[in-house]
Amino acid sequence: MLDIKWIRQHPDTVQEAAVAKRIDVSIRDLLEWDGKRRSLITETEGLRETRNKLSQRIAELALQSNEREREQKKQEAKQVNESLRLAETELAVAERRYHELMMLVPNIVSPDTPVGRSDKDNVEIRRVGEPRTMDLWMKDHVALGELHGMIDVPRGVKAAGTRNYYLTGDGALLHRAVQQLAVDLLLAQGFTLLEVPLMVRPETLYNTGFFPLGKDQVYRIEDENKFLIGTSEVPLITYHANEIVDAAKPIKLAAASVCFRSEVGSTGKDVQGLYRVHQFAKVEQVILCEADADLSDRLLSEITANAEQLLQRLELPYRVVAVCSGDMSQKTYKQYDIETWMPSRQSYGETHSSSNVHDFQARRSNIRYRDDDGNLRFCHTLNNTAVASPRILIPLIENHQAEDGSIHIPEALRPYMNGRHRLYPIRVD
């Protein structure tokens, strides 16, 4: 969340961010409830002080056997208690409404974020590699997966419904190989690997900025009041919740985890194959650092470069785009997406995302550090998808297919694929 003092000073800037991100929240209403809340806090504190003084005086009068004045003070105390009860009731309403509105307030966007309404308005920064045209003999990833016995969508649907799949044989090996390659790259960059909870409490999703606006994307375990994570960013950030950390050096955390997403609102969109599925695996990188805008901006470039390094090792063409204001989530200050070329789509498809959140998550999660003057400050947090599979398998096998149906294995993956250089079909068309 944003600092309420900062919101009071910059209400128009925050309202502009809400409009840009298409979040229905009135900053004017928030500030009105904030004013009521503060006024009621002052009132209740004054009434409690008066009540305490009256209680002390009543006790003194009892020792003095002054029943007449004591009874008078008791009547005054009764009136004060009633006024306090009413004020506390009003305060509870004001606090609740203030909190509800604060949970909807978005992060502002960086000055260099493109203005736009959707991903169509994202701005390309650079391209790496040459996109491959879809020749007549080429197959999409589903057909290739069937040819190699790697992907089985029908049985996935049989077992778990739409947007589910099995990866078999070399498909499962590739799935694990790209994850391990990503993990090894991050370890070489100084990241600490964590095995994280897949089920989390609702407060962790509020504190990391995924609730309340993203509730429809998350699977809930009803009897437990817990939720399945859609990214290990949630438990990685929460690892240091309510702590004072040493941020003298950026804290670099990584996790390889299964993730779940309901994909509500995407009916009829990218339903074929492995692009948009309910269960997938991600290798996530998260950084906590000092609240220095220049530092966190450099780190955003660094984690984006880590993801680019992976794609270069996979020998895949891709582009990096600056995400526009209307395509950003509530929590994001600045974002880059990486889109990898997918021949069957004859377009780039999003495979990675990098975000600088500034102190938005740290305020909600209460993650602080001491600056050089000993003052407590909230950290900046950043996150990036180092790799997400099986989506990455789409460009991996489509771009590396040969006319004879075989699939080239990039050199970087070979140690994780038992040294093989090429995969061959298990059946003939």
Domain boundary assignment for the chain: 4-102, 119-423
Helix locations, 244-372, DSSP H: 293-313, 360-365
Helices 67-102 & 27-63 angle (0-180, nearest 10): 160
What is the sign, positive or negative, of the torsion defined by CA atoms of 121, 126, 127, 128?
negative
Residue 414 falls in the annotated catalytic set: no
Annotated catalytic residue 37: no
Question: Residues 16, 43, 90, 350: which is the catalytic one?
Answer: 350
Q: What is the pLDDT of residues 87-139, one digit of tens each?
A: 999 999 999 999 999 999 999 999 999 999 999 999 999 999 999 999 999 99
* pLDDT tens digits for range 298-337: 999 999 999 999 999 999 999 999 999 999 999 999 999 9
Which pLDDT score is estimated for 427? 65
* Annotation says 261 is catalytic: yes
291 burial (CB, 10 Å; 0-12 / 13-18 / 19+) is: middle
What residues pair up with 243 in beta bridges, in sequence order?
367
Tell me if residue 411 is catalytic: no
pTM higher than 0.75, yes or no? yes
Q: Could you tell me which of 270, 310, 302, 263 has the C-alpha nearest to residue 286? A: 302
- The residue from 146, 368, 391, 398 that is catalytic is 391
pLDDT of residue 64: 87
Q: Which amino acid is at 381?
A: T
User: Which residues in the chain land under pLDDT 70?
Assistant: 265-269, 271, 427-429
Distance CA 114, CA 117 (A): 10
Q: Which is catalytic among the residues 110, 344, 353, 355?
A: 353
Q: Is 238 helix (H, G, I), strand (E, B) or coil?
A: helix
User: CA 305 to CA 294: how far, in whole Å?
Assistant: 17
Task: Give every CB contact of residue 229 below 8 A, 6+ residues apart in sequence.
Answer: 196, 197, 198, 199, 200, 235, 257, 259, 260
Torsion of CA 205, 211, 304, 109, to 10 degrees: -140
Please indicate whether residue 345 is annotated as part of the active site: no
Range 119-423: architecture per CATH: 2-Layer Sandwich (3.30)
Q: How many residues belong to the chain?
A: 429
Distances (CA, A) of 53 to 68, 190, 336: 18, 59, 59
Given 163, 261, 363, 368, the catalytic residue: 261
Domain boundaries 4-102, corresponding CATH code: 1.10.287.40
Nearest to 315 by CA among 128, 184, 125: 128
In this predicted structure, what is the pLDDT of residue 429? 53
